[in-house]
Structure 1
Amino acid sequence: MIKVVAKIYDVAKAAGVSVGTVSRVFNGYTDISRATKKRVLKVAKELGYTPNVAARTLSSKSLKTIAFIMNDLVGSRYDGVSMQTIMGVYHYAETHEMQFVLYPTTTQQQRAKTFAQFCEERNINGAVVQGLHVDDPYVAQIAEAALPVVTIDLAIPGPRTGAVSIDNTAAEKAVTQLLLNRGRRHLLMVNGRQNAQVSVVREAGFKAALAGAGMTADTRRILYADYDMKLAGEQVAAALTADPAIDGIVCASDAMALGALNVLKARQLRVPADVALAGFDNTALAEFVDPALTTVEQHMDIMGYNAAELVNKLLQRDMPTAQRQIFSPYEVIERASTGGQAK
């Protein structure tokens, strides 16, 4: 009698889990619960399933691989925003039997190897990319990519590309309008990276709000602090010294707003009585600082999930350009730093 060799699908069915979960157990992933891992291994033993190296390779190739490529991860916002996005992509991959991999990169590394080479060497089927600068080498290469690529906060036109973001212009306009409605007329904007598309559109929102109030933006009151708390504090300190009339500060991240808050407190300026302050991202610390920080909730986990979903759709079929641009929900949350109630 010929013995029937158990396959990974048999183990998955008997253990009541997905093929992807079985694959993760045998490939040493640490995100599987002990109970699930124990059940999978028990069933595999009972069925006589023991994958070898070749079997693992074959199994991994049967699953589509979605990569999250994060540019400038070390220098990115250190306030949990990137982790929220990563978890959104991971959650989609895990629930749709796709392999998830995370690759940090830098502008310097992009110059050493093309985007196509990078993905081909790693057997990547589709990618979500975040943190690119508009002048990075990957931007032009992604536009010509053969595999589906969805970028976050950066639209790159191309036959297999998509983009996911909130309406950053509208969001920045709304939070700036909030300060204007509170009677502030001498506003300072602390923006993120100067060579990032998201900074351009947020600055447009800031200027639009001022224009709606019959005011013109003063370029001396628009600063760039690269999402860095310390640098933001230094720039705000210099701005307040040069321009004591400033009565409101709008920051493109909560981290930079916290840097500004430290400076305001050190100068014994009351927030919001003397200077109103708003951030962006609604990070964990925003509601626990004193005063609690007005901010914008981007739901980065949803954004990451939507980006991964779009990649998977593009793997299955071509889509019209309009359907490859997704705007995720956002919410302006007013707290005490602009005179609102704690939330």
Structure 2
Amino acid sequence: MLHLLPLDGPTTPQFELGSVDGPADQVARNLQGSEIIKTISAGWASKEDLSFLLPLLAATHDAAVQADEGANEETDEAQESGIRSKLGITDPQRAQYDAALTAIATPRANARQLPVAIKYFAQQCQAAQRDASAAGVQDFIEVSQQVSALVLKAIERGFHKIGINPQWPAAPIQAPPTREPAISAESAQRRGEVLALHMELHAELYRVLRFERVRAASDRIQARLSLETEDEPPIALYPGVGEIMFTEDDQARDIAFTVERYPCTAEVLDPRVVRIPPGKSNNRHKHAHETLFYFISGTGSILVGETWTPVKAGDAVFSPRWAIHQTRNTGDEELVLLAITDYYLTSQVYVGAYDKI
């Protein structure tokens, strides 16, 4: 039995004996809920996110797959070190992590750069394999390699979606088994414990990623640093001073509007001017950023949630985040409104496909 320290995380997954799904399939099924794998695979991770995450995932792989190197070493220097080598287990995945890191020009993390969660994970891996039998070590490494295979596949998909094309090393040619060998009840228990260890770390890495996205802004707030720069002195903002970031004209649905973004250095607020022709509306939509609408000219009505409210020049209406909203021009002249959002904050906080409009 593997000796793992107590985990404050997910319930230990159960490997089903005699299941149609083999052990690798059961690992994949249990990791379907990994937010880290989902985020990378869907292309939601930016290059900055990947530069932060990939060195940590590579270190996680090394900690799990190479944890026993030297731990069970024989005194004879001519003897191969570690049970992993004696079992004939190779590690081609390390080269794949190196290729991914090279593609985003990011070095491997040294030990001092690793967060506490990964250092703790490495200690768990070493403790689990230190006194384990050869079968126990093999279970640990096989599950860890199956996890890494899923992570690397997610990286490959995510790279493709954001336009990164790494030079992957040639994979070793192996004929896949027609059916994975059955595992014992003891092996199933060990594998469940190892998988729980990986699942807990994935959950922690996702929490760390979400904080890392706003860490720089948080540090500047705490340090009382101004965002004002000599290149961008304060200027009067008015309709027409910014750039058109979006235009839509769908006559079949009576949808027509433009969105102009005001130029300003900001980490939270993102002011835009929206123009809607007479008789037209903008899209009915919702998003992560909350918005204060100030109506500059014209008359219309605005939907927030399930309520339509008439508006005119000088009125202001607030739309909470994730509330359905839409604005309609009910007058004879262009409806112009200022929409002040917190997009620059929420686009960092929210992990997922983001509608910036």
Q: TM-score range by the shorter chain?
A: under 0.3
Structure with higher helix content: 1
Which TM-score applies when normalising by structure 2?
0.24
Which TM-score applies when normalising by structure 1?
0.25
